[in-house]
Amino acid sequence: MLQDMPVSQSDETHAAAPVDITADSPEAHRARRELDPATMRARYRAKGLLEKDLADDPVEQFDRWFHHAAESGLHEPNAMVLSTADARGRPSSRTVLLKQYGTDGFVLFTNYGSRKGREIAENPYVSLLFPWHGIARQVIVTGRATPVGRAETIAYFRSRPHGSKLGCWASEQSSTVASREELDALYAELAARYPEGEDVPAPPQWGGYRVVHETVEFWQGRENRLHDRLRYRRTDTGWTVERLCP
Ligand SMILES: Cc1cc2nc3c(=O)[nH]c(=O)nc-3n(C[C@H](O)[C@H](O)[C@H](O)COP(=O)(O)O)c2cc1C
């Protein structure tokens, strides 16, 4: 059991609904009305985050917290919300998976022709948010996204399961598709062309982005909403750390 695991609990308890809460019945509608997000409050009692405990380098600090998140049993601790904005500043967000990180940045893989890919081409400034609610922590990285080299993309693509490789070819990510059947038919065609064990090339429109971090904020939930927020900011000479009001 990790020593600094926060205790997070709801102020209100909601008795388990005796009905299928997803159903279209009057009982289910009533049960859903009773689940009011305005009354949901988690209490955080975690040990704090102090300047003296921080690593000198934000990626070293991220590494410590990432390991803690994984060891805490959080589901997909590498899932992060990538926010982008188009040239007019209109934002959009979606979850993606972190696949690699180091002092040179945080790497994810996607379709360059997707909405996010088009927005990054117009405006490379993005944010990555790790929502580690289960341990009352959050990390927010901001920086500039640049495509990774083709060799790096190909090396990662090779490590993916066969079905995921085919899925990348079958899906023109973010474009509209007439039906589920059309998507399944495309996948079936590809599966016939590339049976299991056959080498699948990386699609040209698919690849990685490396987000070179300019700020990295570590948020730790504390009691009475007096959370700790420590933000590393890149300067000409290295990293500076600022404490932000919660
Ligand atoms: C847990 C989770 C992980 C995901 N990981 C990725 C990913 O690594 N790359 C990706 O392109 N999409 C991923 N997606 C799908 C994206 O959230 C999104 O639907 C897709 O990338 C299209 O986004 P866009 O139209 O805004 O470009 C993931 C979704 C979830 C819920």
Q: Phi and psi (nearest 5°) for 220?
A: -125, 120
pLDDT tens for each residue of 122-159: 999 999 999 999 999 999 999 999 999 999 999 999 99
Report which ligand 1 atom has the smallest distance to the Cα of 94.
Answer: 17
Q: Beta-carbon neighbour count of residue 210 at 10 Å? A: 21
pLDDT for the residue numbered 134: 95
CA-nearest of 139, 117, 116, 112 to 128 is 139
Q: Quick one: tokens of 35?
A: 């689940």
Q: Which of 2-6, 82-86, 218-222 has the lowest mean pLDDT?
A: 2-6
List all residues whose CB is within 6 A of at least one atom of ligand 1. Answer: 76, 79, 92, 94-97, 108-111, 114-116, 173-174
**Pick the catalytic residue: 30, 158, 225, 243?**
225
Determine which residue's CA is closest to atom 11 belonging to ligand 1.
110
pLDDT for the residue numbered 31: 83
Contact 61, 217 (CB under 8 A): no
pTM of the model: 0.89
Q: In Å, what is the CA distance from 124 to each residue of 143, 185, 209, 212?
A: 8, 35, 10, 10
Environment class of 225 (CB within 10 Å of its CB; exposed 0-12, middle 13-18, buried 19+): exposed
* pLDDT reading at 106 higher than 70: yes
pLDDT tens for each residue of 13-52: 455 556 888 899 988 888 888 888 888 888 777 689 999 9
Domains and CATH numbers, the chain: 41-157+203-243 (2.30.110.10)
DSSP result, 1-30: --TTPPPEEESS--PPPSS-TTSSSHHHHH
- Percentage of residues in the chain having pLDDT higher than 70: 92
Q: What is the rounded distance in angstroms from the CA atom of residue 109 to the CA atom of residue 210?
A: 9
What's the rounded mean pLDDT across residues 165-180?
Answer: 95
pLDDT for the residue numbered 15: 53
Is 225 designated active site? Answer: yes
Q: Residue 184 is inside which H or E element, if any?
A: helix 180-193
- Percentage of residues in the chain having pLDDT higher than 90: 80
CA atoms lying within 13 Å on the CB side of residue 156: 19
